[in-house]
Every structure is written in C-alpha cells, then in structure tokens.
A and B are shown apart, each in its own frame.
Chain A
Amino acid sequence: MMGIISPPTDLLAWREVISPFSINSYGAGAILGAPASAAWPQVHRVIYWPFRVTTPFPVNTLFLINGAVANGNFDLAVFHFQGRRLVATGTTAQAGINQAQAINVAAANVILSPGDYYGACVLDNVAGTIFRYAFGLRIAGNMQEVLGVMPLPAQAAFAADATGWAIAMGISSRSFA
C-alpha cells in the first residue's frame, strides 16, 4: 500500500481572490503600480487577462472596481485558456463609483479545475470608468477582442492586446468582493 502525503506546495494553491495583481496572474512577476480610474478604451473591447489555479476553485463572485464614473453596461467572465466561456455575469448595468461592484455567479456552479484561464471584461461604452494600472505593453499576456454587441461570446476570438492595462477585476470563491 502506498500512502501519499502531498498537500499542494505551490504558492498558487487555495487562493480565494484572484486578479491581474495577484500571484495567480502576472502580478507574480511584475512591479506594476496602484490602479487608478480611467475610461474604458473602446466600445465593446474585451480585455482578457491570464491566470492559473492549482487547486479546484469554485467561482462564486466576479467583481469589477468601478472608477469615478459609472455608465452603461459591463460583462465579466472566466474563459478557458482555449477560449470557451465558462461563467459570466451577463450584461450588467455599471453602478456605484470608486468601489467594487460584485456579481454573485454561484448559481452557475462552476468549479475551475487546476489549469490556465482568462478573466474577461467588456464595457459597451467609453464613458464608464474602471480602476486599472496602465503599463502600456502587451508582454504581460493580456489578449483582446472587439465585439459587435454585448454580451461576451461563448467562444473568444483572441487577438493581440492593444491596451496594456492591468484591470482591477477580481474572481472570488467568496460570496462577496
């Protein structure tokens, strides 16, 4: 008989809140900067940001840090790294400024298996603002897509990132932001 005592020993395991700034994303290897409010760069531009989980991760809440102006609608989601949408908020009116707007998606019962994923955010206008840090480079691993309409598609069509933002969006296994 073989017993295995092997709790996950990597630093990505068991995290409850994941964002571009966290150890599960490119925050692990970059000194970026504090996020600040800015208007969304293009109508229907989707910003995808990569992250990894190494232990099962139940997606309970998706949240966005709204900036100084709330306007129109957003959609937040998690995509498999090959582009399939796994869970999304759907089109949601942006409400509240300078604070987190959290949407509970627990009813979808999505549990991410260890692997690589993208968080996704899109706004349907360029008046709404979010918190972000603008590093201006594509090397962090973001991707983008410009949609014709909301909401986020079932299958992403990834294109090279032209924004260079670390967006203040979170994916949480908790029931609050």
Chain B
Amino acid sequence: MIQVATPTIMPHPVLSTYSLESIGTVISSMNLAGQLGNPQLAAWPVVNLAIFIPIVIKEYRTITKVWWRNGAVNGNVDFGLYRPNGDGLNLTRLFSTGSVAQSNAGAADNVQVVDVADYSPIPGLHYMGLVLDNNVGQIRKAIAGSTAFLALFGMGQMAAAFPLPPAVALATLASDMIPEIGLLFDRTVL
C-alpha cells in the first residue's frame, strides 16, 4: 500500500519571489515597497551578477516554464534552478534557460516567459537564479530600502556568473535587488 501525504495547502501553479514557498513572508512582514501587484523598477545592479532566491518545492510537480518581469529591456538574461549541495554554501544547477534576449515583446505586463524542458525536481529547498549581462536592463522588484538587513531574506549572489554556471558558491546579497521571478508548474499557459 502506498500512502501519499495530503498537502497542507493547495499546490499553486505559479510560484514566485512573493509566494509563501519563497520569501513572500519576509517581504510582507516587513511591509516592503514593491510587493506583488506593485513591484518597483530598477536597473540590474551589477553586470553579470547572479542573484539567487530560495524557494521550497513541496510536491512532485513538473516545471514547464520560468518567468521574470522586465522594465526597460537591454542585453541578455539567464534564469536557472539550483539545489543546495547540503554544505551550507554551494549550489548545483538543475537547468537554466541559457542566454535569452531581454524582451517585452507581446507582454503587456512585462512578464517574459521562457519555455524550458519539462523538469520535475525532488521536493525540497531550491534556489531560483537570475542574471543579466548588463546594468541597464530593468527588472521589477521589491525594495528593502537598505542593504543592511538583506541577510534576513536568505538570498545570495555570485559575481561574474553570466551565463549561469553549473556550480555556484553563494555569497551574502549586497544589492537591494529582490527580483520578481518565478516558476510555472503542470500547465503550459502562464
């Protein structure tokens, strides 16, 4: 007999920075500017700087697409999904989009959606990674308003990381950039 645990909440087809599965609780408990529905715009802080956001994937589900929200577009973007190695520092890439031209074509809400080969991660903690190859292209974001307490978000960064590398050594996030990015599960239309 196989028993399958019942999820405590309904699996949502779209997970993002603002989800409870990610850092949505920290953003909302700090009542930051730029919460879901009202994200602020900013140019990417540093050329080739990759920023990583933790996200808990609770069930066996299939990722079909990834997305991020643009402002003014420029250059190229790479989005990846990583898993922690369990050593408290390093991540391993599970997949990435590779270099994609930043574009708002056909997206009134500036959501850029990229199809990926269907991928079903083992439930657990993962990190979404985003990197731009320039500091002109804009991404929508939440605003901490200070770099002092960014450590509370549990995010991380890696310099010189375009395109996203297969192995990442995380460092403490140093830029007030909490990008609005996410994953689509189990369906093909965002």
> Which B residues fall within an 8 A CB radius of A?
1-9, 20-21, 25-26, 28-32, 54, 56, 58-60, 84, 87-89, 123-125, 144-154, 170-172
* A133-B89 Cα distance, complex, nearest whole Å: 29
B20 touches A30 (CB 8 A): no
Tell whether A6 pairs with B153 under 8 Å between CB atoms, given A15-B125, A22-B26: no
Residue from A5, A14, A173 within 8 A of B124 (CB atoms): A14
Task: Give the chain A neighbours of B150 by CB distance below 8 A.
Answer: 100
Q: A110 interface residue, CB < 8 Å from B?
A: no
A13 touches B5 (CB 8 A): no
A17 touches B30 (CB 8 A): no
* A175-B86 Cα distance, complex, nearest whole Å: 11
A177 touches B88 (CB 8 A): no
A14 touches B56 (CB 8 A): yes
A34 touches B148 (CB 8 A): no
Give the nearest-CB partner of A24 in chain B.
B25
A177 touches B172 (CB 8 A): yes
- Minimum CB–CB distance for B51 against chain A, Å: 15
B30 touches A32 (CB 8 A): yes
Task: Give the chain B neighbours of A61 by CB distance below 8 A.
Answer: 88
* A153-B128 Cα distance, complex, nearest whole Å: 40
A34 touches B21 (CB 8 A): no
8 contacts between A and B (CB under 8 A): A10-B8, A15-B125, A16-B125, A19-B26, A22-B29, A100-B149, A175-B89, A176-B171
A28 touches B54 (CB 8 A): no
B170 touches A23 (CB 8 A): no
Q: A160 interface residue, CB < 8 Å from B?
A: no
Task: Give the chain A neighbours of B170 by CB distance below 8 A.
Answer: 174, 176
Q: A31 interface residue, CB < 8 Å from B?
A: yes
Residue from A3, A7, A26, A176 within 8 A of B2 (CB atoms): A3
Residue from A22, A23, A173 within 8 A of B152 (CB atoms): A22
Tell whether A4 pairs with B3 under 8 Å between CB atoms, given A15-B56, A133-B30, A174-B170: yes
Given contacts A2-B1, A4-B2, A4-B5, 10 further A-B contacts (CB under 8 A): A7-B124, A13-B56, A15-B56, A17-B151, A23-B20, A31-B28, A33-B30, A34-B31, A100-B151, A168-B152
B89 touches A34 (CB 8 A): no
A5 touches B3 (CB 8 A): yes
Q: A148 interface residue, CB < 8 Å from B?
A: no
Tell whether A6 pairs with B56 under 8 Å between CB atoms, given A15-B125, A100-B151: no
* A35-B21 Cα distance, complex, nearest whole Å: 22
Task: Give the chain B neighbours of A6 by CB distance below 8 A.
Answer: 3-5
* A26-B145 Cα distance, complex, nearest whole Å: 22
- Minimum CB–CB distance for A130 against chain B, Å: 10
B88 touches A7 (CB 8 A): no
